Amino acid sequence: MSDVDNAERALSAYHDYKETQNSSTAREYHRHISRFIDYLSEHTDATIWDAHSGHAEGYYQWMLNDEGYAPSSVRVAHAAVSDFYTQLDRFAEEGRRGFPEASFEQDPTEYATPERLDGMYSSSKKDVEGGDKPLTKEEVAELVDNVPAPTVRNELITRLMYQTGVRRSELVRIKLSHIDREERRIAVYGKKTEDPRNVWYQPSLDSVLSLWIEGDRNAVFNAEGSDYLFPTRRQERMDEQTVTDVVTTAAENAGLQETVYETKRPSNAEEGHKTPEVRRVGSHTLRKSFGVHFINDGGDISFLADILGHDEIETTKENYLKYSTKDIQNSVRRHGPST
Protein backbone atom coordinates (compact mmCIF):
# COMPACT_ATOMS: atom_id res chain seq x y z
CA MET A 1 0.00 0.00 0.00
CA SER A 2 1.39 3.43 -0.94
CA ASP A 3 2.13 6.26 1.48
CA VAL A 4 -0.83 8.18 0.04
CA ASP A 5 -3.21 5.26 0.58
CA ASN A 6 -1.85 4.76 4.08
CA ALA A 7 -2.39 8.44 4.84
CA GLU A 8 -6.02 8.28 3.68
CA ARG A 9 -6.62 5.14 5.71
CA ALA A 10 -5.00 6.72 8.77
CA LEU A 11 -7.14 9.84 8.44
CA SER A 12 -10.29 7.73 8.09
CA ALA A 13 -9.38 5.64 11.14
CA TYR A 14 -8.56 8.77 13.11
CA HIS A 15 -11.93 10.33 12.24
CA ASP A 16 -13.76 7.18 13.33
CA TYR A 17 -11.84 7.17 16.59
CA LYS A 18 -12.59 10.84 17.34
CA GLU A 19 -16.25 10.32 16.46
CA THR A 20 -16.58 8.12 19.52
CA GLN A 21 -15.50 11.07 21.67
CA ASN A 22 -17.03 14.15 20.04
CA SER A 23 -18.52 14.29 16.56
CA SER A 24 -18.11 18.05 16.07
CA THR A 25 -14.44 17.91 17.10
CA ALA A 26 -13.96 14.92 14.79
CA ARG A 27 -15.31 16.89 11.81
CA GLU A 28 -13.27 19.99 12.61
CA TYR A 29 -10.03 18.09 13.17
CA HIS A 30 -10.59 15.95 10.04
CA ARG A 31 -10.85 19.11 7.96
CA HIS A 32 -7.59 20.57 9.32
CA ILE A 33 -5.63 17.32 8.99
CA SER A 34 -6.89 16.78 5.45
CA ARG A 35 -5.75 20.31 4.58
CA PHE A 36 -2.31 19.57 6.09
CA ILE A 37 -2.00 16.41 3.98
CA ASP A 38 -2.98 18.37 0.87
CA TYR A 39 -0.45 21.08 1.78
CA LEU A 40 2.34 18.51 2.04
CA SER A 41 1.38 17.04 -1.33
CA GLU A 42 1.14 20.38 -3.15
CA HIS A 43 3.96 22.37 -1.53
CA THR A 44 6.54 19.83 -0.35
CA ASP A 45 8.04 16.45 -1.18
CA ALA A 46 7.03 15.08 2.23
CA THR A 47 4.20 12.85 3.40
CA ILE A 48 2.73 12.54 6.88
CA TRP A 49 5.21 9.73 7.52
CA ASP A 50 8.38 11.79 7.01
CA ALA A 51 7.24 15.38 7.66
CA HIS A 52 9.28 17.38 10.17
CA SER A 53 8.83 20.58 12.18
CA GLY A 54 9.79 22.78 9.22
CA HIS A 55 6.86 21.38 7.24
CA ALA A 56 4.46 22.03 10.11
CA GLU A 57 5.64 25.61 10.56
CA GLY A 58 5.45 26.12 6.81
CA TYR A 59 1.86 24.93 6.91
CA TYR A 60 0.97 27.36 9.72
CA GLN A 61 2.68 30.22 7.85
CA TRP A 62 0.83 29.31 4.65
CA MET A 63 -2.50 29.34 6.49
CA LEU A 64 -1.79 32.65 8.19
CA ASN A 65 -0.19 34.66 5.38
CA ASP A 66 -1.10 33.00 2.07
CA GLU A 67 -4.63 31.85 2.81
CA GLY A 68 -5.62 34.55 5.31
CA TYR A 69 -6.81 32.27 8.12
CA ALA A 70 -7.23 33.84 11.54
CA PRO A 71 -4.67 32.98 14.24
CA SER A 72 -7.39 31.11 16.11
CA SER A 73 -7.82 28.79 13.11
CA VAL A 74 -4.07 28.18 12.94
CA ARG A 75 -4.08 27.18 16.60
CA VAL A 76 -6.92 24.73 16.02
CA ALA A 77 -5.01 23.31 13.05
CA HIS A 78 -1.97 22.80 15.25
CA ALA A 79 -4.08 21.06 17.91
CA ALA A 80 -5.66 18.82 15.27
CA VAL A 81 -2.42 17.77 13.59
CA SER A 82 -0.75 17.26 16.97
CA ASP A 83 -3.55 15.00 18.17
CA PHE A 84 -3.47 13.11 14.87
CA TYR A 85 0.20 12.25 15.42
CA THR A 86 -0.50 11.32 19.03
CA GLN A 87 -3.01 8.72 17.86
CA LEU A 88 -0.69 7.54 15.07
CA ASP A 89 1.93 6.95 17.74
CA ARG A 90 -0.54 4.90 19.76
CA PHE A 91 -2.23 2.82 17.07
CA ALA A 92 -0.41 2.80 13.72
CA GLU A 93 2.75 0.93 14.67
CA GLU A 94 0.72 -2.20 15.44
CA GLY A 95 -2.12 -1.41 13.05
CA ARG A 96 -4.82 -1.14 15.71
CA ARG A 97 -8.27 0.52 15.57
CA GLY A 98 -8.30 0.48 11.77
CA PHE A 99 -5.04 2.38 11.38
CA PRO A 100 -2.60 1.07 8.77
CA GLU A 101 0.44 -0.71 10.12
CA ALA A 102 2.97 2.06 9.60
CA SER A 103 5.43 4.30 11.45
CA PHE A 104 6.53 7.90 11.13
CA GLU A 105 9.93 9.45 11.65
CA GLN A 106 8.89 12.22 14.04
CA ASP A 107 5.92 14.24 15.21
CA PRO A 108 6.33 17.46 13.20
CA THR A 109 4.25 19.43 15.71
CA GLU A 110 6.45 18.61 18.71
CA TYR A 111 8.89 21.46 18.07
CA ALA A 112 6.70 23.60 15.81
CA THR A 113 4.11 25.87 17.35
CA PRO A 114 2.01 28.66 15.84
CA GLU A 115 3.17 31.00 18.60
CA ARG A 116 6.59 31.25 16.95
CA LEU A 117 5.09 32.88 13.87
CA ASP A 118 4.99 36.62 13.29
CA GLY A 119 1.52 37.91 14.05
CA MET A 120 0.74 35.24 16.61
CA TYR A 121 2.66 35.93 19.80
CA SER A 122 5.09 38.77 20.34
CA SER A 123 7.39 36.82 22.66
CA SER A 124 7.68 33.76 24.83
CA LYS A 125 7.49 33.35 28.60
CA LYS A 126 11.28 33.15 28.68
CA ASP A 127 11.53 36.55 26.98
CA VAL A 128 9.52 38.28 29.70
CA GLU A 129 11.39 39.15 32.87
CA GLY A 130 10.36 36.56 35.42
CA GLY A 131 7.92 35.00 32.98
CA ASP A 132 9.07 31.45 33.58
CA LYS A 133 9.89 31.82 37.27
CA PRO A 134 9.33 28.76 39.45
CA LEU A 135 6.89 28.33 42.28
CA THR A 136 8.13 28.55 45.85
CA LYS A 137 7.85 25.44 48.03
CA GLU A 138 4.94 27.09 49.81
CA GLU A 139 3.19 27.75 46.51
CA VAL A 140 3.66 24.13 45.43
CA ALA A 141 1.99 23.05 48.67
CA GLU A 142 -0.93 25.42 47.94
CA LEU A 143 -1.18 24.01 44.44
CA VAL A 144 -1.39 20.45 45.76
CA ASP A 145 -4.04 21.45 48.30
CA ASN A 146 -6.23 22.89 45.55
CA VAL A 147 -6.21 20.23 42.83
CA PRO A 148 -9.59 19.53 41.22
CA ALA A 149 -11.42 16.20 41.44
CA PRO A 150 -10.57 13.35 41.24
CA THR A 151 -8.39 14.46 44.14
CA VAL A 152 -6.19 11.38 44.66
CA ARG A 153 -5.25 11.12 41.00
CA ASN A 154 -4.63 14.82 40.55
CA GLU A 155 -2.65 15.16 43.78
CA LEU A 156 -0.44 12.31 42.58
CA ILE A 157 0.02 13.93 39.17
CA THR A 158 1.02 17.26 40.70
CA ARG A 159 3.33 15.89 43.37
CA LEU A 160 4.94 13.32 41.07
CA MET A 161 5.79 15.98 38.50
CA TYR A 162 7.23 18.23 41.20
CA GLN A 163 9.26 15.51 42.93
CA THR A 164 10.75 14.06 39.74
CA GLY A 165 10.83 16.92 37.22
CA VAL A 166 9.31 14.78 34.45
CA ARG A 167 7.71 16.38 31.42
CA ARG A 168 3.97 15.92 30.91
CA SER A 169 4.68 13.83 27.78
CA GLU A 170 6.77 11.51 29.95
CA LEU A 171 4.28 11.41 32.82
CA VAL A 172 1.42 10.07 30.68
CA ARG A 173 3.71 7.31 29.33
CA ILE A 174 4.65 5.91 32.74
CA LYS A 175 3.53 2.29 33.03
CA LEU A 176 3.03 0.38 36.26
CA SER A 177 5.96 -1.83 35.26
CA HIS A 178 8.21 1.23 35.09
CA ILE A 179 7.82 1.91 38.82
CA ASP A 180 10.06 0.27 41.41
CA ARG A 181 8.23 1.06 44.64
CA GLU A 182 10.93 -0.40 46.88
CA GLU A 183 13.64 1.80 45.35
CA ARG A 184 11.16 4.63 44.69
CA ARG A 185 12.56 4.75 41.17
CA ILE A 186 10.75 5.30 37.86
CA ALA A 187 12.08 4.48 34.40
CA VAL A 188 11.05 7.43 32.23
CA TYR A 189 10.50 7.13 28.47
CA GLY A 190 10.08 10.07 26.11
CA LYS A 191 7.79 10.15 23.08
CA LYS A 192 10.21 8.32 20.78
CA THR A 193 12.98 7.09 23.08
CA GLU A 194 13.75 3.41 23.54
CA ASP A 195 16.26 3.87 26.37
CA PRO A 196 14.84 5.29 29.60
CA ARG A 197 16.42 7.48 32.23
CA ASN A 198 15.77 7.03 35.93
CA VAL A 199 14.09 9.51 38.26
CA TRP A 200 13.35 9.09 41.96
CA TYR A 201 10.50 10.20 44.22
CA GLN A 202 10.39 10.77 47.97
CA PRO A 203 8.89 8.55 50.72
CA SER A 204 6.25 11.24 51.25
CA LEU A 205 4.64 10.10 47.99
CA ASP A 206 4.19 6.47 49.07
CA SER A 207 0.72 6.83 50.59
CA VAL A 208 -0.98 8.70 47.73
CA LEU A 209 0.71 6.42 45.16
CA SER A 210 -0.66 3.38 47.01
CA LEU A 211 -4.10 4.95 47.28
CA TRP A 212 -4.15 5.45 43.53
CA ILE A 213 -2.66 2.15 42.34
CA GLU A 214 -4.43 -0.11 44.79
CA GLY A 215 -7.66 1.84 45.10
CA ASP A 216 -8.96 4.68 42.94
CA ARG A 217 -7.21 3.57 39.74
CA ASN A 218 -9.19 0.31 39.75
CA ALA A 219 -12.44 2.25 39.42
CA VAL A 220 -11.37 3.73 36.08
CA PHE A 221 -13.20 2.10 33.16
CA ASN A 222 -10.08 1.23 31.14
CA ALA A 223 -7.80 0.43 34.09
CA GLU A 224 -8.04 -3.36 33.84
CA GLY A 225 -6.87 -3.39 30.23
CA SER A 226 -4.24 -0.67 30.59
CA ASP A 227 -0.57 -0.95 31.54
CA TYR A 228 -0.31 2.79 32.19
CA LEU A 229 -0.23 4.52 35.56
CA PHE A 230 -2.89 6.99 34.47
CA PRO A 231 -5.63 5.41 32.34
CA THR A 232 -8.88 7.27 31.71
CA ARG A 233 -12.47 6.24 31.17
CA ARG A 234 -12.07 6.64 27.40
CA GLN A 235 -8.56 5.43 26.66
CA GLU A 236 -5.66 3.42 28.03
CA ARG A 237 -3.60 6.43 28.98
CA MET A 238 -4.20 10.07 29.76
CA ASP A 239 -3.74 12.86 27.20
CA GLU A 240 -1.03 15.45 27.81
CA GLN A 241 -3.58 18.27 27.74
CA THR A 242 -5.37 16.74 30.74
CA VAL A 243 -2.17 17.09 32.76
CA THR A 244 -1.99 20.78 31.89
CA ASP A 245 -5.67 21.23 32.76
CA VAL A 246 -5.12 19.67 36.20
CA VAL A 247 -2.24 22.03 37.02
CA THR A 248 -3.79 25.21 35.64
CA THR A 249 -7.10 24.55 37.40
CA ALA A 250 -5.26 23.96 40.68
CA ALA A 251 -3.37 27.23 40.17
CA GLU A 252 -6.62 29.10 39.58
CA ASN A 253 -8.19 27.50 42.66
CA ALA A 254 -5.17 28.44 44.78
CA GLY A 255 -5.07 32.02 43.51
CA LEU A 256 -1.59 31.48 42.07
CA GLN A 257 -2.40 32.04 38.42
CA GLU A 258 -1.44 35.35 36.86
CA THR A 259 -1.03 36.85 33.41
CA VAL A 260 2.60 37.00 32.32
CA TYR A 261 1.73 39.07 29.28
CA GLU A 262 -0.99 39.60 26.71
CA THR A 263 -0.15 38.66 23.18
CA LYS A 264 -0.31 41.28 20.50
CA ARG A 265 -3.42 41.50 18.37
CA PRO A 266 -2.66 40.14 14.87
CA SER A 267 -3.15 42.58 12.00
CA ASN A 268 -5.60 40.23 10.27
CA ALA A 269 -7.59 39.38 13.42
CA GLU A 270 -11.32 38.98 12.97
CA GLU A 271 -13.74 41.38 14.64
CA GLY A 272 -14.42 40.23 18.17
CA HIS A 273 -11.09 38.38 18.34
CA LYS A 274 -9.95 38.08 21.96
CA THR A 275 -6.24 38.59 22.43
CA PRO A 276 -4.91 35.51 24.26
CA GLU A 277 -3.08 35.75 27.55
CA VAL A 278 -0.01 33.77 28.52
CA ARG A 279 -0.34 32.54 32.08
CA ARG A 280 2.36 31.96 34.67
CA VAL A 281 1.54 28.46 35.93
CA GLY A 282 1.40 25.42 33.65
CA SER A 283 2.55 21.83 33.85
CA HIS A 284 6.12 22.82 32.91
CA THR A 285 6.23 25.15 35.94
CA LEU A 286 6.47 22.09 38.21
CA ARG A 287 9.50 20.84 36.27
CA LYS A 288 11.07 24.28 36.53
CA SER A 289 10.33 24.39 40.27
CA PHE A 290 11.87 20.95 40.83
CA GLY A 291 15.09 21.97 39.08
CA VAL A 292 15.53 25.26 40.93
CA HIS A 293 14.72 23.77 44.33
CA PHE A 294 17.13 20.89 43.62
CA ILE A 295 19.97 23.35 43.05
CA ASN A 296 18.99 25.60 45.97
CA ASP A 297 19.08 22.61 48.31
CA GLY A 298 22.65 21.82 47.26
CA GLY A 299 22.10 19.45 44.33
CA ASP A 300 24.79 19.15 41.67
CA ILE A 301 23.85 20.73 38.36
CA SER A 302 25.41 17.88 36.35
CA PHE A 303 23.18 15.43 38.23
CA LEU A 304 20.21 17.70 37.54
CA ALA A 305 20.98 17.64 33.80
CA ASP A 306 20.84 13.84 33.87
CA ILE A 307 17.64 13.75 35.91
CA LEU A 308 15.89 16.20 33.59
CA GLY A 309 17.11 14.40 30.47
CA HIS A 310 19.05 17.32 29.02
CA ASP A 311 21.57 16.39 26.34
CA GLU A 312 23.66 19.48 27.06
CA ILE A 313 24.47 20.81 30.54
CA GLU A 314 24.41 24.33 29.08
CA THR A 315 20.65 23.93 28.67
CA THR A 316 20.37 23.22 32.38
CA LYS A 317 22.54 26.18 33.32
CA GLU A 318 20.66 28.57 31.08
CA ASN A 319 17.23 27.60 32.35
CA TYR A 320 17.82 26.92 36.05
CA LEU A 321 20.81 28.82 37.45
CA LYS A 322 19.22 32.23 36.85
CA TYR A 323 16.58 31.51 39.48
CA SER A 324 18.91 29.81 41.95
CA THR A 325 19.79 31.57 45.21
CA LYS A 326 22.76 29.27 45.81
CA ASP A 327 24.49 29.51 42.47
CA ILE A 328 27.79 30.89 41.22
CA GLN A 329 27.70 34.11 43.28
CA ASN A 330 27.23 32.28 46.57
CA SER A 331 29.90 29.73 45.65
CA VAL A 332 32.43 32.49 44.99
CA ARG A 333 31.62 34.22 48.27
CA ARG A 334 32.00 30.96 50.19
CA HIS A 335 34.99 29.41 48.46
CA GLY A 336 36.83 32.28 46.73
CA PRO A 337 40.12 33.67 48.07
CA SER A 338 39.85 36.75 50.28
CA THR A 339 43.43 38.06 50.10
Question: pLDDT tens, 62-71?
Answer: 888 778 787 8
Taking the model in full, what pTM does it have?
Answer: 0.61
Name the architecture of domain 121-265+273-327. Orthogonal Bundle (1.10)
Q: What are phi and psi of 278, to 5 degrees?
A: -105, 125
The model's pLDDT over 84-141, given as tens digits with 9 standing for 90+, comes to 999 998 888 888 889 988 888 788 888 777 766 655 544 444 544 455 678 899 999 9
Q: What are phi and psi of 200, to 5 degrees?
A: -130, 145
pLDDT at 29 over 90: yes
Rounded to the nearest 5 degrees, what angle is found at the Cα of 163, between the Cα atoms of 157 and 165?
A: 85
CB 160 within 8 A of CB 166: yes
Sign of CA dihedral 133, 137, 142, 143: positive
pLDDT at 72 over 90: no
**Single-letter residue type at 246:** V
**Single-letter residue type at 132:** D
Question: Is it true that domain 3-119 has CATH number 1.10.20?
Answer: no
Closest CA to 87 of 15, 168, 171, 4: 15
128-132, 199-203, 209-213: least confidently modelled range: 128-132
Closest CA to 276 of 50, 71, 82: 71
Closest CA to 278 of 35, 77, 113, 48: 113
Q: Where are the domains positioned within the chain?
A: 3-119, 121-265+273-327
